[in-house]
């Protein structure tokens, strides 16, 4: 069995001050995909994770203290791919991929459109590009596990106040339809594969005690190719783990 975790940590230096490494040692996933590391490779402090048995694969943004993704793995990959070949996206450090024997794992940080029209346009560009990128990738690597912060709630059950947020970036109908079409292109939302209940979120605003009141959004996903369906054993939201405004999400698959 292989355990894969995805976690938007909102800054690697910040979470290390909150004993993230101790939690990681205890939970001990085989692979952990990180988003929003907000650090360059020199600032990532790989030695901490190497001492826990992980090799670190970091794709930082060009802009200091911004965005960036990483994968920490105890399993040696056959190949590592940094970025997706689109300069606008790759300068923001939004994707890293490890190819293993039976599947590939991607850590992806989708853009947020909440800061204004320009970034929302960039988000829509990213969504179109990413779907095409995955369609092409599946021709040579059909078994994909896409882990990350998608910055989109798919359905009303995934957000605490759907009516109030219907015109808010992250819950726009165009974004939600994109998730539907993405799933229809051959993917499984692993959490929904096991859980149909509401009030299960992965991100909470720091304002108005949103986390304590569970006023959240489910925007983090472990998406699994349908070709791997029979290998999916479990998927969970680890909402009691608090280092960030997000929480980790886990996936267990047959090795």
Q: Where are the domains of the chain?
A: 2-253
User: What pLDDT was estimated at residue 198?
Assistant: 92
- % residues pLDDT > 90 (the chain): 98
Task: Single out the residue of 133, 149, 188 nearest to residue 33, CA to CA.
Answer: 149
Strand partners, 81: 97
Q: Which two tokens stand for residue 48?
A: 């901490």
User: What pLDDT was estimated at residue 114?
Assistant: 84
Q: What is the average pLDDT across 38-61?
A: 97
Three-state DSSP class for residue 68: coil
**Lowest mean per-residue pLDDT among 22-31, 65-74, 112-121, 244-253:** 112-121
Structural contact between residues 146 and 223, judged by C-beta atoms closer than 8 angstroms:
yes
User: What pLDDT was estimated at residue 255?
Assistant: 84
Q: Which two tokens stand for residue 31?
A: 């692979």
Structural contact between residues 199 and 214, judged by C-beta atoms closer than 8 angstroms:
yes
Q: How far apart are CA 106 and CA 223, in angstroms?
A: 10
For residue 160, pLDDT over 90 is answered with yes
The count of other CB atoms within 10 Å of the CB of residue 67 is 20
Query: By 3-state DSSP, what share of the chain in percent is helix, strand and coil, each rounded to 5?
Result: 30, 25, 40
User: What pLDDT was estimated at residue 127?
Assistant: 98
- Topology of 2-253 in CATH? Deoxyribonuclease I; Chain A (3.60.10)
Q: How far apart are CA 52 and CA 165, in angstroms?
A: 41
User: What pLDDT was estimated at residue 213?
Assistant: 96
Strand partners, 250: 5, 236
User: ∠ at Cα 55 (18, 239), nearest 5°?
Assistant: 40
User: What pLDDT was estimated at residue 96?
Assistant: 98
Task: Single out the residue of 120, 133, 97, 130 nearest to residue 169, CA to CA.
Answer: 120
Three-state DSSP class for residue 208: helix
For residue 125, pLDDT over 90 is answered with yes
Q: What is the average pLDDT across 158-179?
A: 97
Q: What is the average pLDDT across 102-116?
A: 94
For residue 115, pLDDT over 90 is answered with no
Q: In angstroms, what is the C-alpha Rg of the chain?
A: 17
Q: What is the average pLDDT across 95-120?
A: 96
Q: What is the average pLDDT across 182-209?
A: 96
pTM of the full structure = 0.97
The count of other CB atoms within 10 Å of the CB of residue 151 is 23
Structural contact between residues 4 and 147, judged by C-beta atoms closer than 8 angstroms:
yes
Per-residue pLDDT band at 116 (split at 50, 70, 90): confident
Strands 69-73 and 31-35, bridge-based pairing: antiparallel
Catalytic residues: 149
Averaged confidence pLDDT in the chain: 97
User: What pLDDT was estimated at residue 200?
Assistant: 97
Task: Single out the residue of 56, 120, 58, 125 nearest to residue 94, CA to CA.
Answer: 58
For residue 248, pLDDT over 90 is answered with yes
User: ∠ at Cα 188 (131, 205), nearest 5°?
Assistant: 80
Q: What is the average pLDDT across 85-109?
A: 98
Per-residue pLDDT band at 82 (split at 50, 70, 90): very high
Q: What is the average pLDDT across 155-177?
A: 97
Q: Which helix (H) or strand (E) holds 137?
A: helix 117-140
């Amino acid at each position: 069995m292989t355990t894969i975790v995805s976690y938007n940590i909102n800054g690697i230096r910040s979470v290390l001050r909150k004993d993230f490494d101790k939690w990681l040692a205890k939970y001990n996933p085989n692979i952990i995909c990180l988003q929003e590391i907000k650090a360059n490779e020199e600032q990532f402090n790989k030695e901490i994770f190497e001492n826990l048995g992980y090799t670190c694969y970091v794709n930082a943004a060009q802009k200091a203290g911004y965005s960036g993704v990483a994968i920490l793995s105890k399993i040696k990959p056959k190949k590592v791919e940094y970025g997706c070949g689109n300069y606008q996206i790759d300068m923001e450090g939004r994707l890293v991929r490890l190819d293993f024997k039976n599947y590939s794992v991607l850590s992806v940080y989708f853009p947020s459109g909440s800061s204004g029209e320009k970034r929302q346009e960039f988000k829509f560009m990213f969504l179109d590009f990413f779907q095409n990128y995955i369609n092409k990738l599946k021709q040579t690597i059909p078994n994909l596990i896409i882990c990350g912060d998608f910055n989109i709630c798919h359905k009303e059950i995934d957000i605490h106040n759907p009516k109030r947020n219907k015109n808010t970036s992250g819950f726009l109908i165009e974004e939600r339809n994109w998730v539907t079409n993405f799933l229809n292109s051959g993917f499984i939302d692993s959490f929904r594969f096991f859980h149909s209940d509401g009030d299960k979120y992965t991100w909470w605003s720091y304002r108005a005690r949103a986390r304590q009141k569970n006023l959240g959004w489910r925007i983090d996903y472990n998406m699994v190719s349908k070709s791997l369906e029979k290998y999916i054993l479990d998927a969970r939201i680890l909402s009691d783990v608090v280092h960030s405004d997000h929480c980790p999400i886990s996936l267990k698959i047959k090795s």
